[in-house]
Amino acid sequence: MKDREKSPVENLKAFLRGFFGAFKHSSTEYLEFELRELENVFALILMGEFVGIPSPPTTLVIRLLPHMTRELYVMQRRVVDMDDILGELAGMFEIT
Amino acid sequence: MREFFVPKKGYRVVFFIGKGGVGKTTSSAAAAIALAEGGYKTLIVSLDPAHNLGDVLMEKLSDKPKKITENLYAAELDMEKLIKAYLKHLEESMKHTYRYLTVINLEKYFEVLSFSPGIEEYATLEAIREILTRGDEWDVIVFDTPPTGLTLRVLALPKISLIWTDKLIEIRRAILDKRAAIANIHGEQEFVVEGKEFKLPTREEEDAVMKELKTYREEVAFVESVLTDPEKTSVVAVMNPEMLPLYETERAYESLRKFKIPFNMIVMNKVLELRNDVPELKARLEAQRKVLMEVERRFKGLEIVKIPVFPEEPRGVERLKELGGIIVGR
């Protein structure tokens, strides 16, 4: 078999790649969650006027808006599944 | 001539502040005339929505500087027009990327924002900024301001805006860092809205939001740097010898100090001086004397100029000259 012909070092490398690959995946899960939260907060700060949070200079808000597609989208999604935020956290920490 | 009226670094900005009705417009117009007489190319701008600079100078003014006499130009900012122009400008830049944003019914957001409180202050600040960026065309720029409250808020804006912008830049940087970390592991991230694909920016140079934040910061920092530079900006408070203007001047003095804006002089306007005793005015004269003493005690080290009550309202260039001479010190 081809694999058997490989040196033990190669095998170890392949094993580690797989090991860290799985690791990587779960590590970005947290990062992505954090990123989404940050994007949500960023949009919320700018649009907070509507829910009574003091807002930054209006000029700045209006100037930033055109570039904020992604953040606003994230914010809206967040609002939609606001009631399930515990669920999401539980899923992430594998609490079942 | 008092040194805080003399342009040192290119140009000099002088703000006349004070309670409503104490004679800001008259004093600022007079000072501007005297400065123009002194050979400085002077621009006087009225920021007050209730315009009366034109009435004092007895000229019809618009938002374009109009030549009044040799070296003297005057303009009145039309606030309503300014706010409209300001929003229009913002709307244009919005339309640019508008089509992606229909997702969130942006028109509604925008409508609300255009009625947002404080828009007038921002428009005023924007107007001041525009005049300052072309400041080199003049030797001295005199601002006749709306009553204290609004003016103080406008003068405080740059500092407040800077704090906000710095905070937002910080969060933005964190977002970009996170994105970059994820992109490092999984490769470039994409984002789909209504079938249109975007690449999520991860570096500061390619992120439009960061770019906008930084441009805005620069603009505000420029205004802030001019306003807090004692070689460039001076503030002159106008007040009458009465208690209420005294309190207001004191508050203005405190908040300007907080924002590190130089406060140089008090013009004490409408000081009553009688040659003969008039028993009916005795109480008033006594109150005035008290205020004058208080002012000297509370504003130690500040220049205080007393202007007597004139038998006639000083209007028109000729009559204002003398008054201006007293204010700028000739």
Domain assignments of chain A as residue spans, ordered by start: 8-93
Percentage of residues in chain B having pLDDT higher than 90: 54
| Residue whose tokens read 């908040």 | B255
Residue B96 has pLDDT above 70, yes or no: no
Question: Looking at A21-25, B12-16, B48-52, which range is the least confident one?
Answer: A21-25
- Whether the pLDDT of residue A58 is over 90: the answer is no
Q: How many residues does chain B have?
A: 330
The answer to whether A35 faces chain B, any CB pair under 8 Å, is yes
What is residue B95's predicted lDDT score, i.e. its pLDDT? 65
Residue B179 and residue A35: Cβ atoms within 8 Å?
yes
Of B106-120, B176-190, B259-273, give the range with the top mean pLDDT: B259-273
Q: Mean of the per-residue pLDDT values for chain B?
A: 87
* Across B227-240, average pLDDT: 94
Closest CB to B193: pick one of A38, A45, A69. A69
Please list every residue in chain B whose beta carbon sits closer than 8 Å to the beta carbon of residue A34: 178
The arithmetic mean of pLDDT across residues A21-29, rounded, is 75
ipTM above 0.85, yes or no: no
Task: Give the structural domain span for B76.
Answer: 3-328
The one-character DSSP state at B3 is G
- Write a three-state SS string for chain A: CHHHHCCHHHHHHHHHHHHHHHHHHHHHHHHHHHHHHHHHHHHHHHHHHHHCCCCCCHHHHHHHHHHCHHHHHHHHHHHHCHHHHHHHHHHHCCCC
B199-216 mean pLDDT: 91
Using CB atoms, pick whichever of B113, B178, B213 lies closest to residue A31.
B178
DSSP string computed for B215-277: HHHHHHHHHHHHHT-TTTEEEEEEE-SSHHHHHHHHHHHHHHHHTT--EEEEEEEEE---SS-
* B277-323: pLDDT as tens digits: 888 888 889 999 999 999 999 998 889 999 988 888 888 888 888 88
CATH number (domain holding residue B31): 3.40.50.300
How many structural domains is chain B composed of? 1
Is there a contact between B233 and B227 (Cβ–Cβ < 8 Å)?
Answer: yes
Q: Mean pLDDT across the stretch A17-23?
A: 79
Nearest to B164 among A34, A49, A56 (CB): A56
- B238 falls in which pLDDT band (50, 70, 90)? very high
Say if residues B140 and B175 touch (Cβ distance below 8 Å). Answer: no
- The string of pLDDT tens digits covering residues B56-77 is 888 899 889 999 999 999 999 8
C-alpha to C-alpha distances, A63 to A46, B88, B97, nearest whole angstrom: 11, 12, 11
- The distance of B34 to chain A (nearest Cα, Å) reads 37
- In percent, how much of chain B has pLDDT > 70? 92
Residue B157 DSSP code: H
DSSP reduced 3-state for B72: strand
- Contact at 8 Å (CB) between B30 and B251? no
Asked if the Cβ–Cβ distance from B165 to A72 is below 8 Å, we say no
Instruction: Flag if B178 and A34 touch (Cβ within 8 Å).
Output: yes
Q: Say which residue the tokens 């005793």 belong to.
A: B277
The predicted model scores a pTM of 0.81
CA B82 distance to own-chain centroid:
14
pLDDT bracket for residue B261 (50, 70, 90): very high
Is A89 an 8 Å CB contact of chain B? Answer: no
Instruction: DSSP letter for B136, please.
Output: G
d(CA B34, CA B58): 17
Q: Which residue of A has its CA nearest to B116?
A: A58
Nearest CA distance, A6 vs chain B (angstrom):
27
Q: Map residue B59 onto helix, strand or coil.
A: coil
Vertex B30 angle, CA B82 and B295, to 5°: 100
In the prediction, which pLDDT does B167 show? Answer: 93
Reported as a pLDDT band with limits 50, 70 and 90, residue B79 is confident
Q: What's the rounded Cα separation, in Å, for the pair A59 and A62? A: 5
Q: Are B329 and B1 in contact (CB under 8 A)?
A: yes
Task: Give me the pLDDT at residue A86, please.
Answer: 75
Does the pLDDT of residue A6 top 80, yes or no?
no
Helix (H, G, I), strand (E, B) or coil at B303: strand
pLDDT at B94 over 70: no
Tens-digit pLDDT profile for residues B110-159: 666 566 677 778 888 888 999 999 999 999 999 999 888 888 888 989 99
d(CA B235, CA B229): 11
pLDDT of residue A4: 59
Q: How confident is the model at residue B16 (pLDDT cuts 50, 70, 90)?
A: very high
Buried b (16+ CB within 10 A) or exposed e, A7-22: eeeeeeeeeeeeeeee
The answer to whether residue A52 scores a pLDDT higher than 80 is no
Name the average pLDDT for chain A: 79
DSSP H helical segments within chain B, as ranges?
A: 24-37, 53-57, 79-96, 98-101, 106-114, 119-133, 148-186, 208-227, 243-258, 282-298, 317-328
